[in-house]
Amino acid sequence: MDVALPPLKSPTDVLAVVPYLLGFTPERSVVVMGMRERRVVFQARCDLPAAEDVAAVTEHLAAVVGRQAVDAALLVAYGPGAESGRTVDALRQAIESRGIDVLDALRADEGRYWSYLCSRPECCPPAGTPYDASATVVAASATYAGLSPAASRADLVARLAPADGVTRIAMRAASRRAEQRLGDLVGAAAEAARDVVLPAGMAAVDAANARIGSIAPLDDDAVAWLALLLLSVPVRDYAWECVGRDVDGNVALWSDVVRRVDPELAAGPATLLAYAAWRRGDGAVASIALDRAMDADPTYSLARLLADAIDHGIPPGPWLDVPVATEGANRAAGVRPHRRSRRARRQRQVRVVPPTG
C-alpha cells in the first residue's frame, strides 16, 4: 500500500508498524523488513519453524530478501524465547551472509520486547521492555491514513471464509440457475460454444466492474453467473486484465465474490482476488485467497504459479500482462468440471508481502 508513514525511530515504532505492513497482528511468527536507504520497501512473514526446519526456512526467507535489492533489514520474532531465538539467529546469519546489514533484531511477547543486538541492561533489561504500539506516532499516522489491521491472521481467514446458513442456500440455488442458463446458451450455439461464452463472460466481468463502489453488492445470480463463466480461461484472462483498471475496487469486488460463491467455483475468483491484493501490497490477503483457490482446485495452474511468484518475492511487474491460458480446453469452452474432493491443500510456509512502494 502506497501510504507514507513516519520514520521508525525506536523498537516500539518498529513493532507498531508491523501489523500495518502485514495487514494483521502476527503471532508465533518471524517478520523481516527489507530497507533501502532506511525506508521499508519489502516485508515478509513466516510461522516460527520447528527446530528441524529452521535452517531450510530461514535460508529460503533470506534468499527472498536478497532478491529485493535492499541494503538493510529489521527482524522481529513473536513468541517464546527459545523458538524465536534460534530462528532469529539463523535468519540474521543468512541475511548478513548476503551483504545485508541487520539493523535490529527484536522479540515481542505479551506486551514486552527484547533486542537480540543489545545487551545493555539500562536500555534492554533482561525482563524485557514494556511497550504500547497504539500510542506511537506510527500508529496514529496509519490510522489517519485509514489503515486498520486485523487482530490476527485467523481473523483475515474468517473474512474470506465461505458463507454459510441462508447465504449458502441462496447461492446454491443461484448456481443451479446459472448452470441451466449456461447450458441453454451453449446448447443454442452448438459447435460455436466458445463464440458465445467469451462475450457473455466479458459482459459479466464488465457489469461486475461497473458496480464497484456501488452501495448494493452484486446479487446472487450475478455472482453465480460470473463465477461459472470464469471457468472459461479466456473469460478469466479478461477479468485479470481488468484488475489494473481499479486495483482497490477489484480487491473489494473479488473479496465479495469469494465469500459468497459456491466453494467449488472459487478457484478463478480467488486467484483474481490474490492478484489484485498482490498488486495492492496486501500479501496476507493474497496468500489466503490462494489457499481458497487451491482448496477449490489443487491443480489450478495460475494459482500455483502466482503462489510461487509471491513466495519467491517476485514483484507484480512481470505479471501485468494477461496470462497464458493453461487450464484446459474444457474450461475454455465454459464446461463445468466434474465435482470431486477439493481438500488437498498446497501449504506454503513462507508468506511474502509485496513491497509497499
Q: Give the tens place of pLDDT for each residue, 255-305.
A: 999 999 999 999 999 999 999 999 988 888 999 999 999 999 999 999 999
How many domains are there within the chain? 2
- Regarding whether 203 and 97 lie in a shared domain, the answer is no
Would residue 6 count as lying in a domain? Answer: no
Q: Please answer whether residues 297 and 267 qualify as being in contact, where contact means their C-beta atoms are separated by less than 8 angstroms.
A: yes
Give pLDDT tens digits for 312-324.
888 776 555 434 4
Would residue 2 count as lying in a domain? Answer: no
Would residue 5 count as lying in a domain? Answer: no
- Pick from 126-130, 191-195, 245-249, 272-276: least confident: 191-195
* Whether residue 339 has pLDDT greater than 50: no
- Which among 151, 170, 190 is the end of a domain? 151
Least Cα distance to 26 among 165, 121, 150 occurs for: 150
- Regarding whether 221 and 126 lie in a shared domain, the answer is no
Strand order in the sheet with 101-109: 129-130, 112-115, 101-109, 72-78, 29-36, 39-47, 350-353
Distance of CA 85 to CAs 19, 66, 150, Å?
21, 21, 26
- Regarding whether 273 and 181 lie in a shared domain, the answer is yes
* Whether residue 86 has pLDDT greater than 60: yes
d(CA 308, CA 73): 23
- Regarding whether 246 and 132 lie in a shared domain, the answer is no
Would residue 4 count as lying in a domain? Answer: no
Distance of CA 81 to CAs 28, 84, 87, 89, Å?
11, 5, 10, 12
- Regarding whether 318 and 231 lie in a shared domain, the answer is yes
- Which among 108, 127, 151 is the end of a domain? 151
- Domain span at residue 125 reads 11-151
> For residue 338, what pLDDT is reported?
35
- Which among 151, 169, 192 is the end of a domain? 151
Residue 68 sits in a domain of what CATH number?
Answer: 3.40.140
d(CA 278, CA 354): 6
CA 294 to chain CA centroid, Å, is 13
- Regarding whether 223 and 176 lie in a shared domain, the answer is yes
> For residue 334, what pLDDT is reported?
44
- Regarding whether 320 and 288 lie in a shared domain, the answer is yes
Would residue 3 count as lying in a domain? Answer: no
DSSP 116: S
Least Cα distance to 87 among 58, 59, 119 occurs for: 58
* Whether residue 328 has pLDDT greater than 90: no
- Regarding whether 328 and 220 lie in a shared domain, the answer is yes
- Regarding whether 191 and 78 lie in a shared domain, the answer is no
Would residue 329 count as lying in a domain? Answer: yes
Would residue 247 count as lying in a domain? Answer: yes
Burial 123-154 (b: 16+ CB within 10 A, else e): ebeeebbebebeebebbebbeeeebebbeebe
* Whether residue 343 has pLDDT greater than 60: no
Would residue 199 count as lying in a domain? Answer: yes
